[in-house]
């Protein structure tokens, strides 16, 4: 992806050196207390050691507390500059497209950078849970270590794979601004059987919105050879079917919450090919 390093985005809230409370280390990878509890519960449910995915499974464990780390900050500076560029570019794109296509004004979201663990408007944010958007405070939360995991653990390298992740989370912000997110939550509360299917459609639409932004970068000549493949690789890497196969050895479609690898790639491509919000109506599309 063609981009120019610059100053840190004013929409970034950097909490990396604030200290996030206690955490644990597995095979050299730090996760927050909340993330460790989640993995423990899931390990009991699926009767498999999900901690093995974080670093070999049998490595020594120990407590870890986030501390100011100037060396790590310096090492992460190029990545922070790239994330800043993508954040500003995605939000500038939606500032133009959202009112044009829906009549809704765009309001900037914030991006919170943290290590191990922090608090969000939606509760505790752990590095183990991966990047997420909180509609209550309109912020995206991410531990930059996730991008290394995306490459090393899930086999999705490349800067545009990283850009896709951020664009996807900001896609959830579009859903908040347009009222889609609220309608889906209401439907989920009224019909428990539709909780997972509606979650899948919400996630696939966010993938499509990421594709709409990618369409814009393509039109402006920012894409380089291999960028689209990099984004599609990231979308495929985080498909429910692939993640379940990695963690449990089998696939349970009834428990899907984000969609299959094929679905995620399909909807990203829909946004990329059309460049419109109208092309992202996953709710009227039978899966």
Q: What is the pLDDT of residues 229-283, one digit of tens each?
A: 888 887 777 776 666 766 677 677 777 788 899 999 999 999 999 999 999 999 9
Rounded to an integer, what distance in angstroms lies between the CA atom of residue 74 and that of residue 71? Answer: 5
157: in domain:
yes
Helices and strands (DSSP H and E) totals, the chain? 9, 8
4: in domain:
no
Residue 67 has pLDDT above 70, yes or no: no
- The arithmetic mean of pLDDT across residues 133-142, rounded, is 97
In the chain, how many domains are there? Answer: 2
- The arithmetic mean of pLDDT across residues 89-112, rounded, is 98
pLDDT in tens, 102-120: 999 999 999 999 999 999 9
The pLDDT confidence band at residue 26, using thresholds 50, 70 and 90, is very low
% the chain with pLDDT above 70: 77
Say if residue 188 is in the same domain as residue 108: yes
Query: What pLDDT does 231 receive?
Result: 82
Residue 2 has pLDDT above 90, yes or no: no
The pLDDT confidence band at residue 24, using thresholds 50, 70 and 90, is very low
Query: What pLDDT does 287 receive?
Result: 57
149: in domain:
yes
Query: What pLDDT does 43 receive?
Result: 53
Say if residue 59 is in the same domain as residue 72: no
Say if residue 34 is in the same domain as residue 55: yes
- Whole-model pTM above 0.85? no
Rg value, the chain, Cα: 18
Say if residue 52 is in the same domain as residue 73: no
Say if residue 30 is in the same domain as residue 86: no
User: Domain range for residue 113?
Assistant: 12-19+68-284
């Amino acid at each position: 992806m063609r981009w120019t390093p610059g100053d840190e985005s004013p929409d970034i809230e950097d909490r990396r050196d604030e200290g996030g409370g206690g955490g644990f280390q597995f095979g050299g990878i730090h996760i927050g207390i909340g993330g460790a509890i989640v993995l423990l519960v899931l390990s009991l449910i699926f009767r498999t050691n999900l901690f093995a995915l974080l670093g070999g499974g049998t490595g020594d464990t120990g407590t870890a507390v986030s501390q100011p780390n100037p060396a790590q900050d310096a090492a992460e500076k190029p990545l922070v500059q790239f994330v800043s560029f993508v954040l500003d570019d995605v939000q500038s794109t939606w500032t133009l497209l959202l009112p044009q296509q829906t009549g809704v004004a765009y309001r900037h979201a914030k991006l919170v950078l943290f290590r191990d663990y922090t608090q969000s408007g939606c509760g505790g944010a752990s590095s183990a849970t991966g990047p997420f958007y909180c509609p209550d405070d309109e912020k995206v939360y991410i531990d930059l270590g996730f991008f290394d995991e995306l490459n090393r653990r899930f086999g999705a390298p490349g800067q545009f794979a990283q850009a896709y992740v951020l664009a996807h989370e900001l896609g959830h912000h579009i859903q908040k601004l347009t009222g889609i997110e609220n309608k889906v939550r209401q439907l989920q509360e009224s019909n428990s059987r539709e909780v997972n299917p509606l979650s899948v459609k919400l996630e696939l639409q966010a993938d499509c919105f990421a594709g709409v932004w990618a369409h814009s970068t393509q039109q402006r000549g920012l894409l380089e050879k291999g960028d689209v493949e990099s984004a599609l690789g990231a979308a495929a890497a985080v498909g429910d079917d692939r993640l379940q196969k990695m963690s449990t050895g089998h696939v349970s479609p009834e428990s899907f919450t984000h969609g299959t690898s094929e679905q995620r790639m399909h909807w990203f491509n829909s946004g990329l090919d059309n460049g419109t919000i109208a092309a992202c109506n996953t709710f009227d599309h039978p899966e």
